[in-house]
Structures are given as structure tokens and as C-alpha cells.
Chains A and B, each alone.
Chain A
Amino acid sequence: MEPSTHQVTHLLRAWGEGEQGALDELVPLVYQEMHRLAQAYMSRERSGHTLQTTALVNEAYLRLVDSAQASWQNRAHFFAICAQVMRRILVDWARSRQALKRGGAARPLELVESLAVAEGPGQDLVALDDALKDLSALDSRKGKVVELRFFGGLSVEETAEALKVSCETVMRDWKFAKSWLRRELNKEKPVAIRTLAAN
């Protein structure tokens, strides 16, 4: 069932006006669309055509939201939902692949290279998701910043817009949150220690 742009726009506006129930209706609609786009995106990446996550979210926005009826804030809210949804999609995906890995199939899923972590222990999306939950419990805005930037692919400006804070705040939050997350991830998976029996 294709959601109508009118429906999504209406729900977005309602949510923007503080109606929490609207979000519960919105998420499945966005999920469906994001899932389709994410899959299409992955096959594009596979064939060498890259597209930025931001462009993807914009595409979802154009498809789902009647831009004539939606306000600037609606757009920011929509992006926030997209990021949240994308997080769910990707973490589920990572989890299913971990299951595969445990089953001995495919090759080990470690996003080390892909996440371009210069050094340090391997990390994956599932561990990151857990750490991010902890961060959100301590400081929900920082959790949101990471969600929007890393899962939603939003720029600093777009993130600031979605959270109604200044760009500078977003950058400070981003920097601190990354340090905090990195430390947490390092804690969770200490560097493998191999000991050799003395002679």
C-alpha cells in the first residue's frame, strides 16, 4: 500500500504540533519507503554508482511528503524520522548478518574498514546501537545528533535545523559524542590479548 503524500504530510504536521500518536502512524509508512530506497541504494553502490544518504532521505521526502503543504519544520521532522528509521533498518540488517556469521556462513561482518575507524578494535552497528542507547539515556540530544548525522546522513546545518539548536552546539555535541562512543566501544571489546605460555 503506497502511502499518500497527503497522509504523510498531515501526520508530520500533527507530530510537529506535539501529537505523539502521529509518530506511531508515521514510522511504518516511512519505514516502508526507506527500506525500499535503502535496498535500491545498496544495489546502486554495488554497481559503483554512489549516492549520498542525504540524497536518499531527500528522495524519500519528495516521494512521501507533499512539499506544498509541508513547512520547513515538517521537513526537519521528517529527516529526524528518517534517521531513526534508517537506524532501525541498518541495525536489524547488521544483526541478521551477525546471525549469519555465527552460523558460519558468509564472511565475518565487521564494519571496521567501512566505518573507517583508523585504529582500535572492531566495531559493528549493533554494538554502536547499544552504546548509542546508553548515550541517549545520559544525554538525549547527543544521541539524536549521532542518529541524525550517522544514520540519517544529515549535515551539521540540517541537524541543527532538526533539533532547533545552533550549528556550533551540534558540532560540540558531535565531537563529544564521538569520543564518548568510541571509548565505550573500546571498553566493550578490549583488544584481543594473546598470551603465550612461557616456553
Chain B
Amino acid sequence: MLSERWQQIEGLYHAALEQDVAHRSGYLRQACAGDEELEREVESLLGQDEGGDEFLETPALDAAARVVAQDEALAGEAAGRGMVGASISHYQIIEELGGGGMGVVYKALDTRLGRPVALKFLRSPGLGLGRIGAEQSPQHQAETLERFRREARAASALNHPNIVVVHDVGQHAGQPFMVMEFLEGHTLKQVIEQGRLRTQAMIDLAIEIADGLAAAHAKGIIHRDIKPTNIFVTGPASGSPGQVKILDFGLAKSWTPDARPTGEPAATKPVTSAPTVTALDVSLTSPGVTVGTAAYMSPEQARREELDVRTDLFSFGVVLYELASGQRPFQGDVAAVVLHEILAETPVPLSQLNPRLPAELEHIVNKALEKDRTLRYQSAAEMGADLKRLKRDSSSAGTPAAWLPGAAKKSARTRIAIRRWWIAALLAVAAGAAWVNLEQRPWPIPKVGGYRQITNDGGMKGLIGTDGVRLYFYRNSGSGHWIGQVAVGGGEPARVPMPSPFFVLFDVAPDGASLLAAEIATYGEGPLWSVPMPGGSPHRIGNLAVSSAAWSQDGGRIAYAKRGDLFVAQSDGTAARKVASVAGGIAAPAWSPDGKRIRFTVYDDQRLLVYLWEASTEQRDGAHPLFAAGPSGDCCGRWTPDGRYFVFHRQGQIWAMPEPRRLAWRSPPKPVQITSGAVKFVEALPAKDSQHLFAVGVAPRGEVNRFDTRSGQFVPVLGGISADFATFSPDGQWIAYVTYPDGALWRTRLDRSERLQLTQAAPNSYVMLPRWSPDGTQILYSAAATGQLTRLYRVSASGGQPQPLLPGLNQVNSDGNWSPDGKKICFGGAAGSAGRPPVPNIHVLDLDTGSVTDVPGSDDFFSPRWSADGSYIAALNLDSTRLAVFRFATGKWEYLAKGTLSFPCWSHDSRTLYYIQSTNNPAVMRVRVADHRVERVIDLKDVNLTGFYGASLSLAPDDQPLLTHDSGSMEIFTLDWRAL
């Protein structure tokens, strides 16, 4: 039986809900007729209603399952990483040896046998190491795992000196791992990078690889992923190499995403499917096919046909070619191009790249690289035999024996190659004189021929990078941020899913296969991730936490910044080394194509300085500003891929600096402005072909709107004026605003009469956060200008010379707010600025005495706001995740709301604080001080805001929120440019 009281409460609750929000309190008061307890009760229930309606809307089981899934993913990650010191089964992990595409390798001690072993945890889509992209069903996962076990066991049965010994296979927290013999030495990749080996040493290695392959093939086991990182060479990298050990036999099959779940024995089989365009397309778009993997694939692998042992021989041929020449036979920036080359192109003859190689070696490589596998070596043993004969004959010196099949044909080919070399040499001599003159001059000054717009959505965006096919950009709506991509030729932009909304994108890998991003919730630093494209499991790069990062142009290294320090590390995050240290913050590092230099943007929030620096990757003390002339608003530079120009933006235009043609130059190169005119361009990004530039064209406009709570509509406040920081005067008759984007302070009557400019607009200076004095006679504001500290100023509302509020204070003072009696001003650090102010705390200036005191316990806070009744100062904590109030009555701080918050504003009755909640369900929210009750006032999900800080919020006299909508445009353009 329901109580009468309960029915009464419920009835009033529903009746009140039918009223307009504005009328609810009045209605309730009347309906409750003095029954205050009833009124409070119903009001408290109504207050629960507004804060987003998702509460309980997801069924409990779904929510629980998601929590479990998240936990499992985290546990899986923990299982695969950071396990040093842990014991797994009878293996005690000693140190991490490295990580890569396939997983993480640890050195461990086998406590039973007392010997060192290597433990390799495998990374795979569907087995939980990654947090997204886990798309296999449990059954499929189980099958994959079983197949992995079976094949790893089969591989462990291989007993050959040139195949790494697999001791054991196990599973830990759902992650499969294998236990291998512990080896000291290097991968063949490292050997190749060290430079060319002596031919003899190279042939020795090749023979051992062939022997290892022959032994495995004899047992019916195909490797399928022969590449330099899977071939280990014991002993030191340079000098005479030790023994070859082929790694990961049998894993590729169970591990490639496209593996068929049949697990049939790997015997030689006839080709069953003809190559088709469709089959090729499928492999090109498969997630996780990176250039590094694609480069060693056989044509039949590229076509996704049935494989036999001959696939390994082709891949071996590719490895041998690279070992002999230092470069890969099939190259390309993206996997698709590489695969096309494998299928259709003949590689540059080895003899052209390394004329000193024995012709027989070239013949062996060519035969291994036959696209038709029936023309290729038919077995590793056959190839090994040719290699051994070559070793015998070349070590006994003399001309090649006549045993080589097709020797006549081959020597003809050699002759042609030699003739080509001669022609090249003659041309070089002929061009000699001119060459000598030209080569010390910088590249010619480029000119922009024309431009074409390739996006058309108006929103604020910035360019991150390109893979040659797509442009990646970030999109900022003022209340949130997301990553998008658009075809380089234009088209519909699409969102790129990121593992969390806090991912900040930095770079696109040189091969286009992954994105470099950090998870940074507000600002500062966050863990660095590599996110594969177009899909797959992202992985952490080492344990790095960064504020900015970039890959080197060969993808082998990364540069990353932590505030003012710049580091260089291997692409897996190891071997980090500091290369520069500056005052301020570092953004947008860019590698020179040769990997020897890094240029980066240095920003100094406190003085609004932005300028370019250069550091050497080889010496620590080589960092210096790029231009001796000092800061001039330069930002965000990048080299063209051909290394000829360095492009950047300076004060709304794109500039290019030609590089000298040789590293030594006599006079420093001079940058040249290459765009001009009405469209302002920022964020220059050279295209892969070095023939185009992409840039963002900007036409900023801000439209100030009042949110009419009754109609739920936005109503323009300042007509056609493009403005930011609009603020009502205390009597509600005037509005102060800052012109956008030129940053000058104005005031006007509501009907836009009696407009008066109060500060001069100047390049690189900007007025922020104007506040009317309680008597309406003065306006307090913060102003930032390039090269100067952000300071507070006062100006008479009827015009006159602005005066600095604290001329003697030599530190940032900004974001000032009047006390209600107009006798004091509270102020703080640089509110909302991109970097953390060093010591944000809140101070109070007594205007009568001129003394400045600190608000107790305010070390963590900025953005102070004095309530109209004088009881509180509200402020945000350092990372903008909490809103707090300081109660003068108690002298203590109290947290009111959490989230990602900005622009707190007091309601005129001092009972409620409005603020912008960004990132997660962006909205204008309000929180009641008395009971911390939070309400959603305006949904900002599809609202684009703008302004100096990307948004601003203030309240009209009736507490209706004022917001600055983005009515400008910011689009991506392609610029054609020609070097004259």
C-alpha cells in the first residue's frame, strides 16, 4: 500500500515536470502551499532529472560485461608488458629485451634448469593484448591459440644449428608465449644497417640461412615471414658475424590475420586460385599489412594464394638482395605500392647498386626473385648448393666456372649493366662544371601556382600528416576534439576511431601504416601510442609519456618532447637520449630526411612567444634558434620529403626555406614567404610527391549568442560583429567584447549603439576575459602580447588610457575578477593556456592599500571567480578536472564538480556555478553550491564554438548563457608549388 505522502510527491513531481523549467519553482511553491518539506523533497527529485538521461539506460549486464572487457584488456596488457621481476611458471623474468610487431621479448631465468631463456609474448588481434580490434569470437580465439601451440610444437621439434631452439610453449593470463634459447647478438636488420658486409661473410650467412630453411622445409614447415628481423646473427654486429639462427618458425602461419583455420600440413601444393584484382585488393586493405611486412612477401603471398616452401625462397631472395645492396628490391611508401612492385616490377639489377658483387650472386638472387614460382629455385637445398659453389669458386679466386646455367645470357646482361654505368658516368662528367657551381647554391625559390580547397565543413582543424593517399587532421569544435581523415584529392572527411577521446595525434608513420598519438586528458604529457591504420591493436611505445612526438622519415627513430626537453629514441622507445633543452614548451618536432637534424617549435606561454629551433640528433649541445633574428611567430615546420625545403608558417602565411645542396653552406639560408593574400594559411604539410603542399586556410569569425532557456534556441547578441568574451555590464545595459580574431576591447549598448573601442588592436596582442567593475565604470582585462608577460589592465568604460593593474609585479597576472564591493580583485595564473603556469595560485589585490595576499590553500587552482554575494571564490584545479570553491566563512576549499571543466561563471544569486564541460558529452553545465547537484543546461555535442581559447562562456543578467559560436571557416587546401 502506498503512503499518501508518497503519492503526493509522485503526483507533484510529474505535474511539475510538465511545467516550463523557469516556472517549476513557482509552481511547486504554490502547489506545496507552505509545506516546505514536501517542496524540498519534490525539488530534489526534479533536480536529478536533468543531468543526462543515460542513467540506468544501459542494461546492467551490458554495463558489467563492458567493465569485465576493459579489465581483461588491461590485465592482458599487464601480462604482456612491464613484467620484469615476475615469475611465470618456472621462468623468472629478468629484463625486457625488446618489443616489436609480434610481441614483447623478455630475458628470463629457467629456475628449474638454471639457464637463461628468452620469453616471447605474442601480440595478435583477437588475443587480448590490444584494447581495440579484438574481433575474434571465443571459439576462433581458442582455435588460433591451439593452432599456435601445434605449430610452435612442430617448430620446436626442429633441431638444426641455424634455427632457434624452442624449449616450451605456454600461456599466461590468456597470453600465449614461447620459451626459446637465449641468444646474444643482433638481428640481420641491424647487421644490414651497420653497412655492407664483406662479400665472403655475406655468402657465409646466406648459406646458413639456406641450410636452416632446407632443414625446416624437409619437415614440411614453411616459415612464411622470412625477413631481416626474423634472422638472428650471434656475436657482434660488425666484424665477422657469428652463426645464423632463424626465429619464429611456424608462427607466421597461425599468426597472420588471413590464415585459414584449417591448419593443413604445409606441403607443396599446386596453385589453386588465379590472381585476381579482388584478391589483391583484399590483401592491400587488410589491417596490419605494413610496408615492413609487405616488402618481403612473395607474389603468391601478395595475391593470397596457397603457399608452399617456395614462398620462403622468394623472401630469402629479397633478404639477400638487401644484404648485398643495402636497399630493398621492392620499395614504396605504402604497402599497396610495395605489393604492386612485387607483382609487376623488376628490381634494379644488383650490379648497378654494388658493382663489386660477384655476378653469380646476382644470378642467385635473380633466380630466387622469379615471380613465377615454377621458374624460381624449387628448394632451399638447391639454392644452398648454388651459394656453396659460389663460396668455393670465389674463395679460390679466378673467373666464374662454366658450370653456371645460362652463363652466356647472364654475361650479356652484365655487359648491358656496365654500359649503363658508363653512360651515367659520361653524363656526370659532361655536367661537371655546371654541377660544381650549382651544388653549393640552395634550391631555387618555390612559387605557389594555385590552390584548391579540399574540405568544406567550416570547422577548426589542424593538419597532422599524410600517407600519400589520405590526410589526417584533428578537428576541434571548441567543446571537444576528434581525429579525421580525408582523401588527398578531396572528399568527405571521416572520423578516425581512436581508443579514447583523449588521444592527441602527432604524426603519421612514413609507411602510412600507423599513427603516433598520446593519450593526454587535458594538457601536459601522456602515454605515447602507435595506432595501426586502418585498424588493429594500438600499442604503447616503451613507457614514454610525451607532450609531442614524431617519427624519423625512415621510421626507425622517434623524437619526443616532454615540456622543454627534446629526446631521440629508437622507434620502440628504447635508447632515449636528450638532444635539446629549452625554456618553454616544445611542439611539432620534425626530422630532416637524413635523420641528422630535428627542427621544432618552442612556445613560451607566459610571453606568448612561438619560434623555431633546430637540434642535432648527434650532439647534445647543438640546439639553437633557427633564425638569428629572434622570435617572429614561426611555427610548425616540416621538410619536404625530397629534403629540398623546410616549410613553416609565420603570422598567417606559409614560408619556405630552401636547403643548401650540400651540408656546408657559407651564408645562412633565408626563408621566403610563398603565400599571400586574403586567405590566411597555417599548418603547411608537404605532400609525399614534394610537388604540393597542404595547408589550412583560415577565416576566423565568432558569433556571440545567448541561449534562450525558454525556447531552447540561440539568439544572436552582437549582430554581425565577430567577437569573443562578450560580457554584460552589471546594469545589463552594456556589453564589453573583444573583436575576434584581432583581439581589441570594445563596449557597446545592447542595441549596438554607442560603440567604443577601448584598446588598440595590435598584431600578436590580445585582450582576454574583460570584467566590468561592480559600479560599471571600469573594465578589468588580461592582455597577452608576443614577448611580454600576460598582465591585468584597467580601463575606464568610457574610454581612456588603459593602466596596468600591477605594474611592479614581474610574473603572470591574469584572469582578474572584482569583489562585489569593487574594492578588491582576485586574480590567478594563465587560465586555460596550453601549458601549465609554473605556480598557479590565487591572489587578492586590495585596491585601497595595494597589498597582494594569497588565498590560503590555492596552490592547485587557477581561474578564480568571486561570487556576487562575496561568500566564495570559485576556481579550477590545475588540470581543469575539478571545480572548487573557497568559502570565506570557513577558509577552506571544497570540490563541487568534476569532468573536464572550463569557464566557471557564477549565477547572479551566487547559488549556482555554470561551466563548460568538454570532451565527454560536451555541455554547459551548472552545479548548485548547497548540495553539489549537477545539471545539464545546454548540450554542446554538435555545437562548434570558437574564440581565443576555443570557447568562452558568460551569463546574461537573467543567467542565460552566452557562448561564442564558430561562424568562420578553416579548411584544408592543396597548394601547387613550383621551384623556379
In the complex, the answer to whether B61 meets A90 with C-beta atoms within 8 Å is yes
Given that A90-B64, A186-B48, A196-B857 are contacting pairs, would A49 and B137 also be in contact in the complex, using a CB cutoff of 8 Å?
yes
Q: Is B925 an interface residue (CB 8 A)?
A: yes
Q: CB-defined interface of A43-55 with B at 8 Å, one 1/0 digit per residue?
A: 1111111101110
Instruction: List residues of B (10-68) whose CB comes within 8 Å of A's CBs.
Output: 10, 13-14, 17, 44-49, 51-52, 54-68
Given that A49-B137, A139-B6 are contacting pairs, would A146 and B62 also be in contact in the complex, using a CB cutoff of 8 Å?
no
In the complex, the answer to whether B138 meets A47 with C-beta atoms within 8 Å is yes
Residues of B within 8 A of A193 (CB): 894-895
The 8 Å CB contact of A125, one of B44, B60, B857, is B60
Give complex CA distance A109, B933 in Å. 23
Q: CB-defined interface of A184-199 with B at 8 Å, one 1/0 digit per residue?
A: 0010001111111111
The 8 Å CB contact of B61, one of A46, A56, A191, A195, is A56
Q: Is A138 an interface residue (CB 8 A)?
A: yes
In the complex, the answer to whether A195 meets B894 with C-beta atoms within 8 Å is yes
Q: Is B136 an interface residue (CB 8 A)?
A: yes
In the complex, the answer to whether A119 meets B895 with C-beta atoms within 8 Å is no
The 8 Å CB contact of A106, one of B71, B138, B891, B899, is B71
Instruction: List residues of B (46-102) whose CB comes within 8 Å of A's CBs.
Output: 46-49, 51-52, 54-69, 71-72, 74-75
Residues of B within 8 A of A14 (CB): none
Given that A45-B68, A183-B44 are contacting pairs, would A115 and B55 also be in contact in the complex, using a CB cutoff of 8 Å?
yes
Of the candidate stretches A66-74, A158-166, A171-179, the one touching chain B is A171-179
The distance from the CB of B942 to the nearest CB of chain A, in whole angstroms, is 17
In the complex, the answer to whether A192 meets B895 with C-beta atoms within 8 Å is yes
Nearest chain B residue, comparing its CB with the CB of A173? B10
In the complex, the answer to whether A151 meets B55 with C-beta atoms within 8 Å is no
In the complex, the answer to whether B61 meets A41 with C-beta atoms within 8 Å is yes
- Determine the main DSSP class of B at the interface with A: mixed
Residues of B within 8 A of A117 (CB): 52, 54-55
Nearest chain A residue, comparing its CB with the CB of B886? A196
The 8 Å CB contact of A119, one of B135, B136, B854, B899, is B899
The 8 Å CB contact of B64, one of A114, A116, A139, is A114
The 8 Å CB contact of B69, one of A46, A106, A151, A172, is A46
The 8 Å CB contact of B135, one of A48, A87, A181, is A48
Q: Is B616 an interface residue (CB 8 A)?
A: no
Nearest chain B residue, comparing its CB with the CB of A199? B856
Residues of A within 8 A of B921 (CB): 118
Q: CB-defined interface of B850-866 with A at 8 Å, one 1/0 digit per residue?
A: 00001011000000000
Instruction: List residues of A (76-99) whose CB comes within 8 Å of B's CBs.
Output: 86-87, 90, 93-94
Given that A42-B65, A46-B72 are contacting pairs, would A116 and B54 also be in contact in the complex, using a CB cutoff of 8 Å?
yes
Nearest chain A residue, comparing its CB with the CB of B3? A138
Residues of A within 8 A of B856 (CB): 196-199
The distance from the CB of A115 to the nearest CB of chain B, in whole angstroms, is 5
Residues of B within 8 A of A114 (CB): 58, 63-64, 66-67
The distance from the CB of A126 to the nearest CB of chain B, in whole angstroms, is 12
In the complex, the answer to whether A119 meets B45 with C-beta atoms within 8 Å is no
Nearest chain B residue, comparing its CB with the CB of A56? B61
Which of B47, B63, B67, B893 has the largest count of A CB atoms less than 10 A from its CB? B67
Instruction: List residues of A (103-130) whose CB comes within 8 Å of B's CBs.
Output: 106-107, 109, 111, 114-120, 125
Residues of A within 8 A of B58 (CB): 114-116
The distance from the CB of A83 to the nearest CB of chain B, in whole angstroms, is 10
Q: Is A182 an interface residue (CB 8 A)?
A: yes
In the complex, the answer to whether A90 meets B54 with C-beta atoms within 8 Å is no
Residues of A within 8 A of B126 (CB): 47
In the complex, the answer to whether A118 meets B55 with C-beta atoms within 8 Å is yes
Q: Is B823 an interface residue (CB 8 A)?
A: no
Give complex CA distance A116, B921 in Å. 10
In the complex, the answer to whether B46 meets A150 with C-beta atoms within 8 Å is no
Give complex CA distance A21, B47 in Å. 42
Instruction: List residues of B (507-526) whose CB comes within 8 Å of A's CBs.
Output: none
Given that A119-B51, A138-B3, A139-B2 are contacting pairs, would A45 and B56 also be in contact in the complex, using a CB cutoff of 8 Å?
no
The distance from the CB of B877 to the nearest CB of chain A, in whole angstroms, is 10
In the complex, the answer to whether B134 meets A178 with C-beta atoms within 8 Å is no
In the complex, the answer to whether B894 meets A111 with C-beta atoms within 8 Å is no
Q: Is A153 an interface residue (CB 8 A)?
A: yes
Residues of A within 8 A of B934 (CB): 119-120
Interface residues on A, range: 35 or more
In the complex, the answer to whether A125 meets B64 with C-beta atoms within 8 Å is yes
Q: Is A38 an interface residue (CB 8 A)?
A: yes
Give complex CA distance A109, B68 in Å. 10
In the complex, the answer to whether B74 meets A107 with C-beta atoms within 8 Å is yes
Residues of A within 8 A of B137 (CB): 44, 47, 49
Q: How many A-B residue pairs have CB under 8 A?
A: 168
In the complex, the answer to whether A109 meets B61 with C-beta atoms within 8 Å is no
Residues of B within 8 A of A191 (CB): 895-897, 932
In the complex, the answer to whether B51 meets A120 with C-beta atoms within 8 Å is yes
In the complex, the answer to whether B59 meets A53 with C-beta atoms within 8 Å is yes
Residues of B within 8 A of A111 (CB): 63-64, 67
Residues of A within 8 A of B911 (CB): none
Nearest chain B residue, comparing its CB with the CB of A123? B55
Nearest chain B residue, comparing its CB with the CB of A114? B63
Residues of B within 8 A of A75 (CB): none
Give complex CA distance A111, B2 in Å. 32
In the complex, the answer to whether A138 meets B6 with C-beta atoms within 8 Å is yes
Which of A138, A179, A190 has the largest count of B CB atoms less than 10 A from its CB? A179
Nearest chain A residue, comparing its CB with the CB of B75? A106
Give complex CA distance A114, B69 in Å. 11
Nearest chain A residue, comparing its CB with the CB of B890? A195
The 8 Å CB contact of A48, one of B13, B54, B71, B134, is B134
Q: Is B141 an interface residue (CB 8 A)?
A: yes
Q: Is B670 an interface residue (CB 8 A)?
A: no
Q: Is A13 an interface residue (CB 8 A)?
A: no
Q: Is A144 an interface residue (CB 8 A)?
A: no
Instruction: List residues of A (126-160) whose CB comes within 8 Å of B's CBs.
Output: 138-139, 146, 149-153
Give complex CA distance A119, B927 in Å. 10
Nearest chain A residue, comparing its CB with the CB of B128? A46
Residues of B within 8 A of A115 (CB): 54-56, 58, 63
Q: Is B936 an interface residue (CB 8 A)?
A: yes
In the complex, the answer to whether B891 meets A45 with C-beta atoms within 8 Å is no
Give complex CA distance A146, B59 in Å. 10
In the complex, the answer to whether B893 meets A109 with C-beta atoms within 8 Å is no
Q: Is B115 an interface residue (CB 8 A)?
A: no
Residues of B within 8 A of A42 (CB): 61, 64-65, 68-69
Give complex CA distance A48, B933 in Å. 36
Nearest chain A residue, comparing its CB with the CB of B14? A172
Residues of B within 8 A of A38 (CB): 61
The distance from the CB of A53 to the nearest CB of chain B, in whole angstroms, is 4
Residues of B within 8 A of A119 (CB): 51-52, 897, 899, 917, 925, 934, 936
In the complex, the answer to whether B61 meets A194 with C-beta atoms within 8 Å is no
The 8 Å CB contact of A45, one of B10, B49, B62, is B62
Which of B69, B71, B75 has the largest count of A CB atoms less than 10 A from its CB? B69
Nearest chain A residue, comparing its CB with the CB of B58? A116
Residues of B within 8 A of A198 (CB): 856-857, 891-892
Give complex CA distance A184, B807 in Å. 53
Sample of 10 further A-B pairs with CB below 8 A, known A42-B69, A119-B52: A45-B69, A94-B64, A116-B55, A117-B54, A118-B921, A138-B6, A149-B56, A182-B48, A193-B895, A194-B894
Question: Which B residues lie at the A interface, using CB under 8 A?
Answer: 2-3, 6, 10, 13-14, 17, 44-49, 51-52, 54-69, 71-72, 74-75, 126, 134-138, 141, 854, 856-857, 891-897, 899, 917, 921, 925, 932-934, 936
Top 10 A-B pairs ranked by shortest CB distance?
A: A118-B52, A196-B857, A45-B65, A116-B54, A153-B59, A114-B63, A53-B59, A198-B856, A119-B934, A182-B48
28 A-B pairs, CB-CB below 8 angstroms?
Answer: A38-B61, A42-B69, A44-B65, A45-B69, A49-B137, A53-B61, A90-B61, A114-B66, A115-B54, A116-B57, A117-B55, A118-B55, A118-B921, A119-B917, A138-B3, A150-B59, A150-B60, A151-B59, A153-B62, A172-B14, A175-B49, A176-B13, A179-B48, A180-B48, A183-B44, A193-B895, A194-B893, A195-B894
